[in-house]
Amino acid sequence: MEHWEYSELFETIHEVYEEFLTENRGHKHAIARLVDDFSNLGKVEDIIVDVAIGEIVVTHDKVFIGYVENITKRLSMFNLQEVEGELTKEEINDLLKRINKVIDGLKNAEVDYNLSAEL
């Protein structure tokens, strides 16, 4: 990971999400901005971003179908070799636990088919 530390990226995403919420445009808008602002940071970073966003969306009453499908797909295709040498053993173990928790949470989430962000 070139520009981020493991825990720093998780913390930053959660902090930025909270900042976006203060704009009073709703959870959907805040998540959409996160997806846009934190896309294509790097192979390992993108995995962490999916996990962090997944951790946030599974706390919502409903999760947009696009996030359920895309995050689940990308995390299900996760290859441990992609992060070896980039993350410590402890970080890898933490990431694996988080990935499993997000995938399980998305499987059990109530799906929202409405793309529009609440205003």
| Segment 94-119, tens digit of pLDDT | 999 999 999 999 999 999 887 664 43
Determine the Cα–Cα distance for residues 31 and 90; give it in Å rounded to an integer: 28
Token code pair at residue 102: 């997000």
**Spans of the chain, pLDDT less than 50:** 117-119
Instruction: Classify each residue of 82-112 as buried b or exposed e, where b means 16 or more C-beta atoms within 10 Å of its C-beta.
Output: ebeebbeeebeebbeebbeebbebbeebeeb
Q: Is 61 helix (H, G, I), strand (E, B) or coil?
A: coil
Q: Give the predicted TM-score (pTM) of the model.
A: 0.91
pLDDT at 24: 77
**For residue 118, what pLDDT is reported?**
46
Output the pLDDT for position 3: 84
* Euclidean distance between CA atoms 115 and 96, whole angstroms: 29
